[in-house]
Amino acid sequence: MLIRAFIPAHITAFFVPVFHEEPLKAGSLGAGVNLSKGTNVFASIETGTLERHIHVAFNGEPVKREEAEITYYVAEKLVPKDFLGEVEVWQYFDFPNGYGFGNSAGGALGTALALSYAFGGTWLRAAQLAHEAEVKHKGGLGDVIGQLAGGIEVRIKPGGPGIGVTDNLFFEDYKVLVVPLGRLSTREVLDGDVVKAIEVEGRKALEELLKEPKPERMMVLARNFAEKTGLLPGELSEIARELDKVLKNPSSMIMLGKGLFALVRDEEAEKAKQLLSDMNLPYDIAEIYTERPKVGRWVG
């Protein structure tokens, strides 16, 4: 049996981390956008061996348990203890790991949905397990619930699936331009003293967005959040200011990765791509993904 799941990449614009010892009550406030590219998970389940084996691979390369803690955590909980067979979980990422595209959540949720589809369960239980795995291993606080919400989402009540509450903004004709430049460890930032500034600026940004719930407003608030918290490094700030010259809406920093993102319309995208090529910078453009994550039998 081969199951496939697709989980959209998820970029957070601004956020407020909300910690709690119960993983389902931990989460975040904030806003983010889902992309038509993301994480594809293929789960192969073969019976007939004398033992229970779980293997995980990232982009075709097998990974050890310590390199894929979150996925193994999910798989161990969903593959029955008395299962005799081989479970292989192949995860393919459209964006690099650690760059702020919600890959760890994509892997967790994709694995949880695929293995629940195969071994039994429900969407909510799978989503809650994925969120639990993320929180326990510090992968992130709001990606799983953001990926389930789809589109341009706003987290208005913190917590995991079934507890947190999300809203969605209406939008028209926007695509997402991304400039992925490097890693930024969620663990480092969330442990650092910048958390206080994130708290204050994040709550302000959410309050403002809910007064004027528009994508354009979200980008202004996101850029302001990135600057006021000091999260936006000089190098990125310079690129952002160049992009400001060709884009109607301000770009902002991918939370949390070394990179920028912007909501663009087709006519602006061409100018921005030219600019980024001239600056010799990598970029990509994706649609905004408004659907739910996908899971189902894969007949390939």
Could you list the residues that contact its own copies (CB under 8 A)? 116-117, 120-125, 150, 154, 156-157, 162, 165-170, 172, 213-214, 290-292, 295-297
Burial class, 57, CB count within 10 angstroms (exposed 0-12 / middle 13-18 / buried 19+): middle
139 or 164: whose CB is closer to its own copies?
164
259: amino acid identity, one letter: G
| Token pair recorded at residue 70 | 């979150």
CB of 133 vs its own copies, minimal distance in Å: 19
Q: Of the two residues 247 and 288, which places its CB atom closer to its own copies in the complex? A: 288
Identify which of residues 16 and 127 has a Cβ nearer to its own copies in the complex.
127
What does the radius of gyration of the chain's CA atoms come to, in whole angstroms?
A: 19
Tokens of 293: 């994550």
Nearer to its own copies, 2 or 156 (CB): 156
Q: What length does the chain have?
A: 300
For residue 284, the surrounding DSSP H or E stretch is strand 284-287
Residue 139 CB, nearest approach to its own copies (Å): 23
| Smallest separation (angstroms) from its own copies to the CB of 288 | 12
Q: Minimum CB separation from its own copies for residue 35, in Å? A: 17
Using the Cα atoms of residue 208, residue 151, residue 233 and residue 285 in order, give the sign of their dihedral: negative
Q: Which residues contact residue 41 at a Cβ distance below 8 angstroms, ignoring those fewer than 6 apart?
A: 4, 5, 6, 7, 89, 90, 91, 92, 106, 107, 110, 111, 113, 114
User: What's the rounded Cα separation, in Å, for the pair 89 and 235?
Assistant: 37
**How far apart are CB 243 and its own copies at their closest, in Å?**
27
Q: Whole-number minimum distance, CB 41 to its own copies, in Å?
A: 15
Going by C-alpha positions, the residue among 25, 41, 31 that lies closest to residue 10 is 31
Residue with tokens 């500034």: 197
Closer residue to its own copies, CB minimum distance, 98 or 121: 121
Select 73 or 117, whichever has its Cβ closest to its own copies: 117
Nearest approach in angstroms of CB 154 to its own copies is 7
Instruction: Report the residue number, 89 or 288, with the smaller CB distance to its own copies.
Output: 288
